[in-house]
Structure 1
Amino acid sequence: MNTHTKHRRLLIGLLGAATAASGATVHAQSAVIPYGLIDMAVVREAGGAGGAATKLTSGVSVGSRLGFKGSEDLGDGLSAVFVLESGFQGDTGIMGQGGLLFGRQAYVGLSGNFGTVLIGRQYTPQYRVVALADPFGSGYVADSKNIVATSGNSFSRMDNAVKYQSPTVAGVSLELAAAPGEVSGDSAAGRQFGGALAYVAGPLQLRAGYHNRNNDTATVKNTENARNAVVAAVYDFGGLQAHLLYSANQGLNSSVLRNTANPFGRATAPLASTNSRDILAGLTVPFGPHTVLASYIHKDDRTALNQDASQLAVGYRYTLSRRTSVYAVHARIDNRNGAGYTIGNASEAGSGNRGTSVGISHAF
């Protein structure tokens, strides 16, 4: 039996157990909720060395997932909480996130008047600032991760993380997160830490985030840390939302290329920037069930290679119900001086500098 088969059978068993538990005796004290989302789209990619390709792709606007979340009332305002969330590819049925069983999120914690403390695999605070500022929510073929630097493992998450989320007081909230590198004899190697501060008041949202990742391993020492800092603002004018973001990125792995296979066939393979600044400006225009989205992103590479890049994206989403929507999005990247940024989406790295997607997303 191969690994993917084992994972699928275990996931089915867990779903059955969770469903049974939610209706059994534990229901009086706790709640276990199975949930999920499946997103499928036809994607046209072009501009890469291999030529244009038309694909049926899962997890384009957001990653397809199956999860369980729950809480238990412990009394005196204290609750135990957990999330176990597995990613999957609806077009093939395979597990996402490299085959991890709960690769999207896996954490447990306590929540009360003091805030929430969570332990496990989670999103970095810095990435959450980026995703909340992006009109496309860090998804679709317009995904800000195509250009904007993100943090943690696989662009957005931290393994082995301890996170604190504060209560919201006068519109202000705080997130702090840290994760050990788990390298014997070297407490600094591989460790990560970061945080985010948010202020939300009526139509205005202001956020700032920071992430620091030590690149040392058990055998490779004295590498430069990856450091990402971001500030963002969203303002709702009533009928139109404006989005702005600025990030500064320094160090090895501070701005990772999504596709590392030299997708444009350069004589010299492009390198990820180790010193860059990113700017995002975007619009969201909702009217009835319709939403028009647009964004422009520019990466200013400040290394000697000067491999700048810009991405322009436009999209349309039609909301059929609270749980179902259809969409069409187009994006294009202008790479300069041999840069190698590709049009990916919420789940894939992409293969060219142009991409169009038409799809459907359904939550359950």
Structure 2
Amino acid sequence: MKVKKLAIGAAMLLFVTEAYAESSVTLYGIMDTGIEFYNHAKTGGSVYGMPALTGELPSRWGLKGVEDLGGGLRAVFNLESGFAPGTGGLNYGGRLFGRQANVGLGNRFGTVLFGRQSNMTYYSVVNADILGPALIGLASFDPYLANARSDNAIGYMGKFGGVTIGATYSFGRDSATVPGPGGTGCAGQVPGDFQACKQVTAMVMYDTANYGASVSFDQMRGGASTDFGPLVSSADKDTHIQATAYYDFSHGKFAGGWIHHNVNVGRSYHTDLYFLNGTYLPTPFLALDLVGAHFNVSNPSNIGGVIENGAIVPGSVAPATSNSTMITARATYFVSKRTSVYAMLGYMINSRNGAVALTGGGTVQTGANQTGGMVGIQHKF
């Protein structure tokens, strides 16, 4: 009888443990590619082909999971890999899980994550940037906006009513050894210099059913001989400040914002990006987007150089002042819940010293206006 009672008790304990330890793992992804074109390439003429970096959204696959630990506590993880559909090659500095690689704990007070993760610059702009990390979008002006992630980071985000607060701290913001939009090569601190490659981001966001706004701060430090850009010392700083807002209505959204970027390496330069955009859904199957953005560069010290594919061209010198204006239109037709086709067309107006390419990963002749676009297909799974 005693053995029977023990067996029943063990079975009940197992049942309770399983009930509290419910878990799930989800495989998901996006395949997005097509054909791009643009004129006035840096070497002259026009370019036609498949983009390596992004389409309407960057292609990726991932695994995410959650385990209920009981008492409102849960364990979470996310592994996410970005790739180029045209070649199957890895993006984000050639890393297998270059988009996300983190694990953490969460409850009603928020979630704490450890590992490579999106930082607050990403979350601050995501509700206001209608085009997102598309081939032609805000990342054409500042590639970091589409790659706002931090290695070796501790992150927190909590939502309290309509207010969301979040922050990240990175001990070494980027270990990539391949230069480009997804890699800046600043792996970590060194003995006696805890500031090397450090990054701190913070955000406050307010959302309701119809409107919202956010502000964020992002500062990264350099490291000796590790950065692919001008940040070569832990005293060097790269700072982003953002303010965005949006309004939702029954058939669409209006949004806008300001993004200030300052680089201080003893001398300093800064850029200001202003944008307004909107989307309209005349039917549930069709989305029409229109974006206008203006970009000012103030670089009196001629710091850095011309940026192509997210990296500074060796030996080049950035112009002292310039400005560029972009207008982009996009139409997306939803064939099903998972599959859509789209077309986007953009026009970039560069000042005499301006050299902002219209498309992500593209090139342009200094002072040239540029027309480009893309037609593509996207499937989510």
TM-score, normalised with respect to structure 2: 0.77
3-state SS in 1 of match to 2:356: coil
Deviations 1:158-178 (Å, cap 9, x if unpaired)? Answer: 111111011x22211111111
Tell me how far apart the structure 2 counterparts of residues 26 and 324 of structure 1 sit (CA, whole Å).
36
1:193 aligns with 2:228: no
Tell me how far apart the structure 1 counterparts of residues 204 and 68 of structure 2 sit (CA, whole Å).
28
Tell me how far apart the structure 2 counterparts of residues 57 and 362 of structure 1 sit (CA, whole Å).
17
Deviation at 1:75, TM superposition (A): 1.0
**8 Å contact kept, 1:44–1:356:** yes
1:100 aligns with 2:95: yes
**8 Å contact kept, 2:21–2:67:** no
Mark the CA change 1:194 to 1:222 in structure 2 (over 3 Å): closer, same or farther. closer
Tell me how far apart the structure 2 counterparts of residues 340 and 129 of structure 1 sit (CA, whole Å).
27
**8 Å contact kept, 2:196–2:234:** no
Tell me how far apart the structure 1 counterparts of residues 264 and 347 of structure 2 sit (CA, whole Å).
26
**8 Å contact kept, 1:243–1:282:** yes
Alignment of 1:234-253 (within 5 A): 234-252=246-264
Q: Tell me which of 154, 157, 161 is aligned to 1:162.
A: 154
**1:34 aligns to what?**
27
Contiguous gaps of at least 5 residues in structure 2: 1-17, 173-187, 227-231, 301-319, 365-369
Tell me how far apart the structure 2 counterparts of residues 26 and 78 of structure 1 sit (CA, whole Å).
14
**1:89 aligns to what?**
84
Tell me how far apart the structure 1 counterparts of residues 234 and 195 of structure 2 sit (CA, whole Å).
10
Letter in 1 for 2:297: D
Q: Tell me which of 28, 41, 47 is aligned to 1:48.
A: 41
3-state SS in 2 of match to 1:97: coil
**8 Å contact kept, 1:150–1:228:** no
TM-score, normalised with respect to structure 1: 0.81
Deviations 1:213-270 (Å, cap 9, x if unpaired)? Answer: 11233684364311111100110233241111012221159xxxxxxxxxxxxxxxxx
Alignment of 1:1-364 (within 5 A): 29-50=22-43, 51-57=45-51, 59-139=54-134, 141-148=135-142, 150=144, 155-166=147-158, 168-181=159-172, 182-184=188-190, 185-217=192-224, 220-221=232-233, 223-252=235-264, 274-288=269-283, 289-304=285-300, 305-345=320-360, 349-352=361-364, 353-364=370-381
3-state SS in 1 of match to 2:189: coil
Letter in 2 for 1:178: Y
Tell me how far apart the structure 2 counterparts of residues 68 and 155 of structure 1 sit (CA, whole Å).
19
**8 Å contact kept, 1:107–1:119:** yes
Q: Percent of pairs identical after alignment? A: 29
**8 Å contact kept, 1:36–1:65:** yes
Letter in 2 for 1:292: L
Deviation at 1:149, TM superposition (A): 6.9
Tell me how far apart the structure 2 counterparts of residues 67 and 101 of structure 1 sit (CA, whole Å).
11
Deviation at 1:98, TM superposition (A): 2.6
**8 Å contact kept, 2:224–2:234:** no
Aligned length: 314
Mark the CA change 1:363 to 1:252 in structure 2 (over 3 Å): closer, same or farther. farther
Deviation at 1:26, TM superposition (A): 12
**8 Å contact kept, 1:147–1:310:** no
**8 Å contact kept, 1:194–1:209:** yes
Mark the CA change 1:227 to 1:247 in structure 2 (over 3 Å): closer, same or farther. same
Tell me how far apart the structure 1 counterparts of residues 212 and 94 of structure 2 sit (CA, whole Å).
36
Per chain length, whose mean CA-contact separation is higher, i.e. which structure has more relative contact order (CA < 8 Å, sep 6+)? 1
Deviation at 1:200, TM superposition (A): 0.7
Deviation at 1:148, TM superposition (A): 4.5
Deviation at 1:28, TM superposition (A): 6.8
Mark the CA change 1:196 to 1:28 in structure 2 (over 3 Å): closer, same or farther. closer
Tell me how far apart the structure 1 counterparts of residues 160 and 248 of structure 2 sit (CA, whole Å).
21
3-state SS in 1 of match to 2:126: helix
Letter in 2 for 1:232: T
Contiguous gaps of at least 5 residues in structure 1: 1-24, 254-272
**8 Å contact kept, 1:208–1:232:** yes
3-state SS in 1 of match to 2:50: strand
Tell me how far apart the structure 2 counterparts of residues 298 and 34 of structure 1 sit (CA, whole Å).
39
Tell me how far apart the structure 2 counterparts of residues 83 and 222 of structure 1 sit (CA, whole Å).
30
313-322 or 331-340, which moves further after superposition? 331-340
